[in-house]
């Protein structure tokens, strides 16, 4: 029996398979942060296509937390209704849906916003020098994450993910390459993790106890002096009681050369899973049913997070079930197309 198509249970969440749609920004929201019909079709197609868990793209907890002016947002109550319509449609199509709560930090590209970071170091020559966050501003952002989590519950999401990867604000605090603070939020690992821990605590306080919290991390910065896998394991251990699953990615803080190949980040998920005892999701050019099956079958991760392949093939899970000889239900409307 295919391991990829076995159920997965995490607290109050039950997934019909181990396939997760990785969060991928569409840059297609209105400037008010609300979804458009594009999002309904985009996410709805993957739900119809058999994905077990759809992780919504980075969704900003405040306007200056957007990567672009067309990012989704959960910084105000008026955004809940439009997002609930999206979540309800995904549920009706048979998938579960989570939202990735995010703050872009120094990688905010929205004109007119006051760009902020743990330290006044800009992302690149094309970006402005950010303002160093005060302690008071840090607490305001922590509260914004908590309020966004409350709105996520109201919108009907099944889980929330805290985005602590890819060079965005939380990652900027975690890495010594981008955090040169001398107060309680900088220096030692304990201090650099403090902001993440406060965000996770605020998120937990605003969701039901049975709702899982995912954490996306960049397991390595690929740069000497930055985060590496060993330190990532220690960071995860320090927040273990606040997290239910670790979504393991890498990079994004700077722009080093990275050797890319199918499954190049799977070992990060396997190591975090083995060393911390937490479930993990593996991501990174996983595109064949055979590789996805191997990852789950050999216990290297609990979920496979698919990105680019789901942009090319929205119904990849139905194709994978055919390849792996798993008999899964098809949408009634599409049964004539079922592989025989």
| Residue 109 placed within a domain | yes
Rounded (5°) CA angle 119-125-127: 60
pLDDT digits (tens, 9 = 90+) for 232-243: 999 999 999 999
CATH number at residue 18: 3.20.20.70
Low-confidence ranges of the chain (pLDDT < 50): none
Taking only Cα atoms into account, the Rg of the chain, rounded to an integer number of angstroms, comes to 19
- In terms of Cβ atoms closer than 10 Å to its own Cβ (0-12, 13-18, 19+), residue 111 is exposed
Residue 334, token pair as written in the block: 């599409």
261, 228 Cβ separation under 8 angstroms: no
Instruction: For residue 179, give the nearest of 163, 161, 195 by alpha carbon.
Output: 195
Query: How far lies 150's CA from each of 70, 77, 155, 176, 306, in Å?
Result: 22, 10, 9, 31, 27
| Count of domains for the chain | 1
* pLDDT for residue 126: 87
| Residue 43 placed within a domain | yes
Q: Which helix (H) or strand (E) holds 198?
A: helix 194-205
Mark out the alpha helices in 12-105 (DSSP H runs). 37-48, 80-92
As a whole number of angstroms, the distance between CA 227 and CA 250 comes to 10
* pLDDT for residue 255: 83
pLDDT digits (tens, 9 = 90+) for 88-99: 999 999 999 999
Residue 183, token pair as written in the block: 């107060």
Query: How far lies 130's CA from each of 105, 113, 142, 315, 318, in Å?
Result: 8, 10, 18, 42, 45
| Residue 3 placed within a domain | no
123, 109 Cβ separation under 8 angstroms: no
pLDDT digits (tens, 9 = 90+) for 136-188: 999 999 999 999 999 999 999 999 999 999 999 999 999 999 999 999 999 99
* pLDDT for residue 258: 83
Domain that holds residue 258: 8-337
| Residue 94 placed within a domain | yes
Please state the separation of Cα 52 from the chain's center in Å.
15
| Residue 137 placed within a domain | yes
* pLDDT for residue 280: 98
| Residue 303 placed within a domain | yes
As a whole number of angstroms, the distance between CA 273 and CA 302 comes to 9
| Residue 214 placed within a domain | yes
Tell me the sheet residues that pair with 14. Answer: 9
- Does the predicted TM-score (pTM) go above 0.85? yes
Strand 213-218, strand 245-249: pairing: parallel
| Residue 2 placed within a domain | no
As a whole number of angstroms, the distance between CA 195 and CA 134 comes to 12
* pLDDT for residue 30: 95
């Amino acid at each position: 029996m295919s391991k990829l198509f076995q159920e997965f249970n995490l607290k109050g969440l039950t997934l019909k398979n181990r396939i997760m749609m990785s969060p991928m920004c569409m840059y297609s929201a209105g400037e008010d942060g609300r979804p458009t019909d594009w999002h309904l079709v985009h996410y709805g197609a993957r739900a119809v296509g058999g994905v077990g868990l759809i992780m919504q793209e980075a969704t900003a907890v405040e306007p200056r937390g957007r990567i672009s002016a067309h990012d989704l947002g959960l910084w105000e109550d008026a955004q809940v209704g439009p997002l609930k319509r999206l979540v309800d449609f995904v549920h009706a199509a048979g998938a579960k849906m989570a939202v990735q709560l995010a703050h872009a930090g120094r990688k905010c590209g929205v004109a007119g916003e006051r760009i902020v970071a743990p330290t006044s170091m800009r992302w690149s020559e094309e970006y402005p020098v950010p303002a160093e966050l005060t302690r008071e501003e840090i607490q305001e952002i922590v509260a914004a994450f908590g309020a966004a989590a409350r709105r996520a519950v109201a919108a009907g999401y099944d889980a929330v993910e805290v985005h602590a990867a890819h060079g965005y604000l939380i990652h900027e605090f975690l890495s010594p390459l981008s955090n040169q603070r001398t107060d309680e939020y900088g220096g030692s690992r304990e201090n650099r993790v403090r902001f993440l821990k406060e965000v996770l605590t605020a998120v937990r306080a605003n969701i039901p106890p049975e709702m899982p919290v995912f954490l996306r991390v960049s397991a390595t910065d690929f740069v000497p002096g930055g985060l590496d896998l060993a330190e990532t394991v220690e960071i995860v251990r320090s927040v273990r009681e606040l997290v239910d699953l670790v979504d393991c990615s890498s990079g994004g803080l700077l722009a080093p050369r990275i050797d890319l190949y199918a499954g190049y980040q799977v070992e990060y998920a396997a190591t975090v899973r083995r060393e911390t005892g937490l479930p993990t999701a593996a991501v990174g050019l996983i595109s064949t049913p055979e590789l996805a099956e191997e990852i789950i079958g050999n216990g290297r991760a609990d979920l496979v997070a698919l990105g680019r392949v789901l942009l090319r093939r929205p119904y990849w899970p139905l194709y994978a079930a055919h390849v792996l000889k798993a008999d899964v239900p098809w949408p009634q409307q599409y049964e004539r197309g079922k592989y025989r």
